[in-house]
């Protein structure tokens, strides 16, 4: 539930209306001048049909310099950002050779494994020498190394499931697994804010898709009851199977899913649960085992657990964990396993080392320290931002915190002003988020120290005052006032 | 004064914004302010200003709600390419609250002496919003290639 000041909502609609009007006027002129210049398509159809690229041309291009900024170093707590300039209002962006050292508040490196690590990096380099960067083969042919086998075993043990299967890319894990798990005649019920990879996989499966209100178990129950009683669309036969898909942490909101209630409802109506832990695995929970550990859900209750290694483990790829029969089935049907090149061996070694560090199997307590630090950092940062009067979304303990901006003009302003002060943030706008709810998303990491967080808070506070995004009043500094009173007395 | 925004379950990002709070008020305020601007620029009677606002409202809403098809971004892979914005709204359900509001906001302002033009505009727009006209293309106008 997001609370918006009413005047801000009106102003945001008006701003978008103005932007659309100007965009359409420009398009009108483009059409008029385009009539005179010759069209070199020679009978081929144009690539963009109708007005599909209107948003891209007229809104996104104005603020293109806030996205896709190239970096020239590893995404640690600080990184080198390459400066760019544009002479034709963002149609082309030229890179310069100047770099700017910025505080990194945008990478998903929750435990800090994205930077060279004393345990993981030597082992990854050794495996690079031993196994070479690519297996040059799919898993079925010649691409299964001992590292892949070991990785699958480690992932299964880490999550408390019977077996696991890993893929080279996280997005592909969702979009290639869903069509294999469910097909026409099945029902997929997915949270309204699920990630694009889940939406693509669900659409590709051919099953009927229904959406329930974000994180509302009562609405999920309502949708389930309605769908089970009606059956398949025209024939009204019973559904072949029902899968409910939720995520551990929603990356645009920073809130956890209400897993205990949702699992209870799925058990009641005999639907399968698919949990996508892309952001929560490794970063949440006392030992980093994800949202199941945090919310006290038995991993055996979740039928299919999916996750990615790109966030907390500092590598690439994704996994699916489940029962032995499920993984066996996936191994001979999933096209990502049969035809796609297997994960790069040094990447697999990085994940194995990262899991060992998290569990403390490397002989140190660095893993536990990292987990504690990311939790402390997130809670401290979130509470400080809320005290300053920003509207911050997300639950406590979640390292993802979106700061609401709303107005479209504040999106590039926030990004550029923070960059001037050497803080790099990620801003998100329509259509990745709803029209009204544009935000700046901060991702904290265990490698951020307290001083860096304080610097970031100072910069964000300055920029927030400049832009007027402190929608809730800042809390009065009661302690200072009390001290002043005491001194006077 | 704060309002709460409840996320709708509409997957179509093109129409989903219409269900958030403040949209109806913004619509009315835009009409009111354009009336004030027309009145101050042209220095005419208020009835004539309303007629001008009404007719330009007709042109704008007809073009955007009932003529333009599809969505302004390519993410949804063109599944709405055959539907105008009016047909997309509320996932095709007829006579929802939003649709009734938009129908009602036509039939309230028409004045002399341009009664004929105004009535014609209202008639065209209200007929375009009928449930029976869902996906109907008269004489193939605005149908796909």
Picking from A273, A327, A321, the residue whose alpha carbon sits closest to that of residue A297 is A273
Convert the pLDDT of each residue in A296-305 to its tens digit: 999 999 999 9
From chain B, pick out residues whose CB is under 8 angstroms from the CB of A5. Answer: 1-3
Q: Is the pLDDT of residue A58 over 80?
A: yes
Q: Is the pLDDT of residue A410 over 70?
A: yes
Convert the pLDDT of each residue in A417-454 to its tens digit: 999 999 999 999 877 788 888 999 999 999 999 999 99
* A vs B: CB pairs below 8 A: 100
Give alpha helix (H) positions in B2-113. Answer: 13-16, 23-42, 46-61, 85-88, 97-104
Q: Which helix (H) or strand (E) holds A274?
A: strand A272-276
Picking from A199, A252, A51, A434, the residue whose alpha carbon sits closest to that of residue B73 is A51
Q: Is the pLDDT of residue A473 over 80?
A: no
Whether the ω angle into residue A431 lies within 30 degrees of 0, i.e. cis, is yes
Decide: A221 and A264 in contact? Cβ < 8 Å. no
Contact call for A49 and B78, based on CB within 8 A: yes
Residue A220 DSSP SS3: helix
Convert the pLDDT of each residue in B43-69 to its tens digit: 877 777 877 888 888 888 888 888 877
Convert the pLDDT of each residue in A227-257 to its tens digit: 999 999 889 999 999 999 999 999 888 889 9
Q: Is the pLDDT of residue A261 over 90?
A: yes
CB proximity A183 to B under 8 Å: no
C-alpha B27/C-alpha A441 separation (Å) is 30
CB contacts under 8 A, B 47-76 vs A, are 68-75
Exposure string for B58-83, b = 16+ CB within 10 A, e = fewer:
beebbeebbebbbbbbbebeeebeeb
Q: Sign of dihedral through CA atoms A195, A196, A201, A206?
A: positive
Picking from A45, A48, A47, A68, the residue whose alpha carbon sits closest to that of residue A58 is A48
In this complex, the residue of B5, B20, B69 whose CB is nearest that of residue A50 is B69
DSSP symbols for A17-44:
HHHHHHHHHHHHHHHHHHHHSPPTTTTP
In this complex, the residue of B2, B9, B74 whose CB is nearest that of residue A213 is B9
Distance of CA A52 to the CA centre of its chain: 25
User: What is the arithmetic mean of pLDDT over B102-115?
Assistant: 60
Q: Report pLDDT for A484.
A: 55
Q: Is the pLDDT of residue B107 over 90?
A: no
Residue A275 DSSP SS3: strand
Q: Is the pLDDT of residue A280 over 60?
A: yes
CA distance A58 to chain B (A): 10
User: What is the arithmetic mean of pLDDT over B61-82?
Assistant: 78
Q: Is the pLDDT of residue A414 over 80?
A: yes
CA triplet B111, B115, B118: central angle to 5 degrees? 90
What is the number of other CB atoms lying within 10 angstroms of the CB of residue A323? 14
CA distance A7 to chain B (A): 8
Give the pLDDT band of residue B79 (cuts 50, 70, 90): confident
CB proximity A466 to B under 8 Å: no
Residue A404 DSSP SS3: strand
From chain B, pick out residues whose CB is under 8 angstroms from the CB of A199. Answer: 11
In a 13 Å sphere around the CA of A414, the CA atoms on its Cβ side amount to: 29
CA dihedral A433, A439, A440, A443 (to 10 degrees): -60
Q: Is the pLDDT of residue B143 over 90?
A: no
CA distance A436 to chain B (A): 7
Q: Is the pLDDT of residue A117 over 60?
A: yes
Contact call for A192 and B17, based on CB within 8 A: no
C-alpha A149/C-alpha A170 separation (Å) is 18
3-state SS record for A95-150? EEEEEEEEEECCCCCCCCCCCCCCCHHHHHHHHHHHHCCCCCCECCCCCCCHHHHH
Q: Report pLDDT for A486.
A: 57
The position carrying tokens 């070694």 is A349
CA distance B10 to chain A (A): 8
Decide: A228 and A253 in contact? Cβ < 8 Å. no
Q: Report pLDDT for A165.
A: 95
Contact call for A3 and B3, based on CB within 8 A: yes
Q: Report pLDDT for A487.
A: 54
C-alpha A175/C-alpha A202 separation (Å) is 7
Give the pLDDT band of residue B114 (cuts 50, 70, 90): low
CA distance B69 to chain A (A): 8
Q: Which residue has the higher pLDDT, B45 or A416?
A: A416
Closest residue of chain A to B81, computed from CA coordinates: A50
Select the highest-mean-pLDDT range: A377-386, B15-24, B73-82.
A377-386
CA distance A26 to chain B (A): 15
Q: Report pLDDT for B109.
A: 47
Distance of CA A231 to the CA centre of its chain: 34
Best B12, B25, B32, B72 member to test A by mutation, with max A CBs in 10 Å, is B72
In this complex, the residue of A4, A56, A431 whose CB is nearest that of residue B3 is A4
Contact call for A1 and B25, based on CB within 8 A: no
Contact call for A9 and B6, based on CB within 8 A: no
* Bridge partner residues of A101 (DSSP): A80
Convert the pLDDT of each residue in A146-190 to its tens digit: 999 999 999 999 999 999 999 999 999 999 999 999 999 999 999
Q: Which residue has the higher pLDDT, A295 or A482?
A: A295
C-alpha B130/C-alpha B125 separation (Å) is 9
C-alpha B137/C-alpha B142 separation (Å) is 7
Contact call for A5 and B25, based on CB within 8 A: no
User: What is the arithmetic mean of pLDDT over A260-282?
Assistant: 93
Contact call for B9 and A14, based on CB within 8 A: no
Q: Report pLDDT for B134.
A: 76
CA distance B78 to chain A (A): 8
In this complex, the residue of B4, B7, B73 whose CB is nearest that of residue A431 is B73
Convert the pLDDT of each residue in A76-114 to its tens digit: 899 999 999 999 888 889 999 999 999 999 998 999 998
Give the pLDDT band of residue A399 (cuts 50, 70, 90): very high
- Across chain A, mean pLDDT equals 90
Burial of A416 (0-12, 13-18, 19+ CB in 10 A): middle
Closest residue of chain B to A54, computed from CA coordinates: B72
Q: Report pLDDT for A476.
A: 65
Q: Which helix (H) or strand (E) holds A208?
A: strand A208-212
- The pTM score is 0.86
User: What is the arithmetic mean of pLDDT over A129-141?
Assistant: 91
């Amino acid at each position: 539930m997001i609370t918006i000041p009413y005047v801000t909502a009106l102003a945001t609609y008006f701003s978008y209306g103005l932007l659309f009007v100007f965009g359409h006027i420009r398009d009108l002129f483009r059409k008029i001048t385009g009539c005179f210049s010759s069209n070199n398509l020679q009978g081929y159809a144009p690539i963009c049909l109708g007005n599909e690229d209107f948003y891209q041309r007229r809104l996104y291009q104005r603020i293109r310099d806030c996205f896709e900024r190239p970096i020239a170093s590893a995404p640690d707590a600080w990184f080198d950002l390459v400066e760019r300039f544009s002479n034709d209002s963002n149609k082309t962006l030229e890179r310069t050779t100047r770099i700017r050292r910025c505080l990194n508040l945008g990478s998903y490196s929750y435990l800090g494994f994205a930077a060279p690590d004393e345990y993981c990096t030597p082992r990854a380099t050794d495996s690079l020498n031993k196994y070479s960067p690519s297996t040059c083969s799919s898993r079925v042919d010649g691409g299964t190394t001992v590292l892949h086998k070991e990785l699958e075993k480690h992932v299964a043990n880490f999550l408390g499931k019977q077996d696991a299967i890993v893929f080279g890319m996280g997005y592909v894990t969702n979009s290639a697994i869903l069509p294999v798990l469910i097909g026409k005649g099945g029902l997929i019920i997915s949270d309204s804010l699920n990630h694009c990879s889940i939406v693509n996989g669900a659409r590709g499966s051919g099953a009927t898709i229904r959406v329930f209100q974000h994180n509302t178990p009562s609405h999920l129950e309502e949708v389930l009851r309605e769908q089970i009683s009606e059956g398949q669309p025209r024939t009204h036969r019973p559904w072949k199977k029902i899968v409910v898909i939720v995520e551990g942490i929603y990356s645009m909101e920073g809130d956890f899913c209400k897993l205990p209630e949702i699992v209870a409802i799925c058990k009641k109506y005999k639907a399968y649960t698919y949990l996508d832990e892309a952001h929560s695995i490794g970063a949440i929970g006392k030992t980093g085992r994800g949202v199941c550990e945090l919310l006290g859900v038995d991993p055996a209750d979740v039928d299919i657990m999916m996750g990615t290694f790109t966030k907390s483990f500092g590598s690439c790829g994704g996994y699916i964990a489940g029962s032995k029969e499920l993984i066996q089935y996936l191994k001979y049907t999933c096209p990502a396993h049969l035809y796609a090149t297997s994960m790069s061996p040094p990447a697999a070694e990085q994940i194995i080392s990262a899991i060992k560090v998290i569990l403390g199997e490397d002989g140190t307590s660095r893993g536990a320290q990292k987990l504690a630090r990311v939790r402390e950092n997130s809670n401290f940062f979130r509470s400080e931002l809320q005290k300053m009067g920003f509207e911050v979304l997300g639950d406590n303990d979640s390292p993802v915190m979106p700061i609401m901006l709303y107005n479209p003009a504040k999106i590039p302003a926030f990004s550029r002003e923070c960059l001037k002060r050497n803080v790099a943030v990620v801003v998100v706008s329509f259509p990745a988020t709803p029209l009204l709810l544009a935000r700046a998303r901060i991702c904290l990491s265990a490698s951020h120290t307290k001083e860096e967080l304080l610097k970031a808070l100072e910069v964000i506070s300055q920029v927030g005052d400049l832009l007027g995004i402190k929608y809730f009043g800042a809390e009065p500094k009661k302690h200072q006032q009390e001290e002043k009173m005491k001194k006077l007395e | 004064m704060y309002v709460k925004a409840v996320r709708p379950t509409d997957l179509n990002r093109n129409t989903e914004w219409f269900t958030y709070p403040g949209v109806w008020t913004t619509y009315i305020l835009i009409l009111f302010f354009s009336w004030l601007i027309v009145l101050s620029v042209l220095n005419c009677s208020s009835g004539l200003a309303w007629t001008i606002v009404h007719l330009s409202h007709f042109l704008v809403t007809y073009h955007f709600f009932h003529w333009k098809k599809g969505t302004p971004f390519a993410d949804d892979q063109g599944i709405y390419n055959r539907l105008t914005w009016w047909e997309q709204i509320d996932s095709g359900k007829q006579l929802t609250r939003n649709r009734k509001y938009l129908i009602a906001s036509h039939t309230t302002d028409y004045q002399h002496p341009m009664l004929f033009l105004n009535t014609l505009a209202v008639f065209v727009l209200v007929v375009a919003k009928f449930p029976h006209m869902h996906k109907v293309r008269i004489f193939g106008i605005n149908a796909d290639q």
